Chains A and B, each alone.
Chain A
Amino acid sequence: MGENFDVDLSKNLLEMKFMKKTKEQVLKKRDDAEGQAMYSKQISDKMRKSDGDIIFRQASISNCKNLVEGRLSFGGMNRVVEKLMESDYNKKYFDAEKRKEKDVSDEQMAKEYSTVVDTLNKKFRPKKQRNQKFQKPSTTEPLV
């Protein structure tokens, strides 16, 4: 059902019980339109675009370098701290280990995979196209 609120529904119709949701939507739309008309004079084009302005946010060195929270316990000295460490220290440690173990990096995998896709693509092409020989581009033509 294509809902089109451009059609003005009568006041009496909107008051009816089954029109509750529609009434809310109509009211919201009217409010939005009113608000926009009110403030459109004050908001300039420059404010809307503000090209290239950057909002700077201060952060701790731990956020920058991805450091762990400093309270650590080893060998069961403080069970409570060790439990809290699970989600922070141990997770970051395992992630780092995993990254080291991976003998094929994600980027390499993506590259390899795309060549496999290419070769398989060739296989499903009609024979005529498949056997096309590579032609050396003429040297007189510009490269780009």
Chain B
Amino acid sequence: MSAITTIDYLLPGEIVDNLKSKDRHTIIGPGLRRNEENPNKSLIVTQAGWLRFRSPNTYWIDSRRNRYIPKKGDLVIGIVTKKSGDIVRVDIGSAETASLSVFSFEGATKKMRPDLNIGDIVYAKLLTAHKDMEPELVCIDQYFRAGRLGILSNDGFLVCLNLNLAETLLNAENPLLRTLGKKFPYEIVIGVNGRAWIKANQAKDVLTICKTFEVAKNESEKSIIEACRQTK
């Protein structure tokens, strides 16, 4: 993967042009929207933050926001809040609750419904996320397989992280999760909406992980790597 370059610090409403594209396609991540006045050539910024670019054609805004804004393709952790017929409402931390069909689980049919109850935690993918519509979740991929998505069991703990920490932890180069894994066995699910579900053999281990995240929140990436190197 090519390196990420930082272009500039931008404020909402500023216009980004001179975009690079590959085969006339450009990929835009969070914080950017099409500019209505010149829809085919430029973008408009919706969040204050650093404009980042990865060749050949990806742009996004890196900000320090705390509120999660749904984006198509995000893998999130949600809590079931309401059941109504074939659709359940799921709280994913965004302004609006998302909808999740009971048929969008692996092997689900009209007769074979998944066992979904209010208060259950699901790890799901955002199928649609549009500013004028409610977000829609699914628990299967394009081949109708669950993979790692689905209902998370009741013997785990749900904690809230901030968005930046969730993104840092999901970077495979970050050694924090591996270093913890050497100390004790555990399973973790981190959603890009800043929530984490932790399961370990002992409650002590879960607390250790929570405390580690609490500390890591205020540390730079460099100091996290250094701390992990020392505990080896």
- Looking at A33-41, A58-66, A130-138, the stretch in contact with chain B turns out to be A58-66
Interface string of A29-70 (1 = CB under 8 A from B): 000000000000000000000001111111111111111111
A65 and B75 contact, Cβ closer than 8 Å, known pairs A54-B25, A55-B24, A75-B184: no
In contact, A59 and B173 (Cβ under 8 angstroms): no
- Looking at A17-25, A89-97, A121-129, the stretch in contact with chain B turns out to be A89-97
In contact, B172 and A92 (Cβ under 8 angstroms): yes
Residues in B with CB closer than 8 Å to A55 are 21, 24-26
Using a CB–CB cutoff of 8 Å, the interface residues on chain B facing chain A are 1, 4, 19, 21, 24-30, 34, 40-41, 43, 52, 54, 58, 60, 71-75, 77, 123, 126, 129, 147-148, 167, 170-173, 177-178, 180-182, 184-192, 199-201
Using a CB–CB cutoff of 8 Å, the interface residues on chain A facing chain B are 52-78, 81, 84, 89, 92-93, 95-96
CA distance A78 to B34 in the complex (A): 42
Shortest A102–chain B CB gap in Å is 14
Residues in B with CB closer than 8 Å to A61 are 29-30, 60, 71, 74, 167, 192
Total A-B residue contacts, Cβ distance less than 8 Å = 149
Shortest A67–chain B CB gap in Å is 4
In contact, A74 and B172 (Cβ under 8 angstroms): no
CA distance A81 to B152 in the complex (A): 12
- Give the contacting residue for B29; candidates A59, A72, A74, A89; CB below 8 A: A59
